[in-house]
Amino acid sequence: MKIHSITVGPVQTNVYLVGDEKTKEAVIIDPADSPEDIMKMIAESGFTVTKILLTHGHFDHIAALGEIAEKTGAEIYISEKDVELLRDENKNASMLFFGIDIHFDMPVKTVKNGDTITVGKLEFTVQETPGHTKGSVCYFAEKAIFTGDTIFATGYGRTDLYGGEYAALRVSLMELAPKLKGKHIYPGHGDAARF
Ligand SMILES: [Zn+2]
């Protein structure tokens, strides 16, 4: 498994390219912003992106979704519970933060607890971690966990935006905690961390 990343956009969101070195197939996790930089990362990596995995539907994780999906032809995966954020510029907070309308109408595939998404020989397993948003998920692949805004190197995500709920996040963090040992987390913002 090979991981590339860049940090883009007004709130410095991490975009990950995670690929299977044998088949050269890869996913993009959270095409946050700056589509030209993401396309450059893909080109330089030598991987072919066939899937886009979203950790949740907030504007700062999806702003480049339209262009990246169109240019790569990749399928899009998101929790069913966050599809409404993709579709609605108020629910994904793009209006609130920047007064700009970011929303998408393209078809997506939805994921739920325990689903596995296969890319080449790589498998990404889904764990639902509601709290930051209703449809926040973490993707587990080998020793890596892509956590979006559920958990960071030194903290956890805010719960004051649409669909956020602190009590739910607490439960999600309790469920995640025992699974972190020996893993590397790759969050939506800030540095990766080793547990
Ligand atoms: Zn978020």
How far apart are the CA of 149 and the centre of ligand 1, in A?
Answer: 5
Asked whether residue 61 carries a pLDDT value surpassing 90, the answer given is: yes
How far apart are the CA of 121 and the centre of ligand 1, in A?
Answer: 29
- The pLDDT of residue 114 is 98
How far apart are the CA of 194 and the centre of ligand 1, in A?
Answer: 22
How far apart are the CA of 96 and the centre of ligand 1, in A?
Answer: 13
Tell me what the mean pLDDT of segment 26-51 comes to: 98
Contact indicator for 133, 30 with CB cutoff of 8 Å:
no
What token pair was written down for 152? Answer: 């960071």
- The pLDDT of residue 195 is 86
Asked whether residue 162 carries a pLDDT value surpassing 90, the answer given is: yes
Asked whether residue 152 carries a pLDDT value surpassing 90, the answer given is: yes
How far apart are the CA of 60 and the centre of ligand 1, in A?
Answer: 7
How far apart are the CA of 99 and the centre of ligand 1, in A?
Answer: 17
pLDDT tens digit sequence for 166-190: 999 999 999 999 999 999 999 999 9
Contact indicator for 131, 150 with CB cutoff of 8 Å:
yes
Tell me what the mean pLDDT of segment 69-82 comes to: 98
Cβ-proximal residues to 127 (8 Å cutoff; 6+ apart), any chain = 113, 114, 137, 138, 139, 140, 175, 176, 179
Tell me what the mean pLDDT of segment 124-147 comes to: 98
Asked whether residue 1 carries a pLDDT value surpassing 90, the answer given is: yes
How far apart are the CA of 182 and the centre of ligand 1, in A?
Answer: 25
- The pLDDT of residue 21 is 97
How far apart are the CA of 47 and the centre of ligand 1, in A?
Answer: 27
- The pLDDT of residue 137 is 98
Question: Which CATH architecture fits 2-194?
Answer: 4-Layer Sandwich (3.60)
Residue 17: which pLDDT band, with cuts at 50, 70 and 90? very high
Domain residue spans in the chain? 2-194
Q: Which residue has the tokens 């607890």?
A: 113
- The pLDDT of residue 98 is 87
Cβ-proximal residues to 98 (8 Å cutoff; 6+ apart), any chain = 10, 59
The CA distances from residue 68 to 41, 74, 103, 148, in Å, are 12, 8, 14, 18
- The pLDDT of residue 55 is 98
Whole-prediction pTM: 0.97
How far apart are the CA of 32 and the centre of ligand 1, in A?
Answer: 11
Tell me what the mean pLDDT of segment 14-26 comes to: 98
Work out the mean pLDDT of the chain and round it to a whole number: 97
The alpha-helical segments, DSSP class H, found in the chain are 35-45, 59-62, 65-72, 83-87, 94-98, 166-176
- The pLDDT of residue 188 is 98
Asked whether residue 139 carries a pLDDT value surpassing 90, the answer given is: yes
Tell me what the mean pLDDT of segment 154-165 comes to: 96
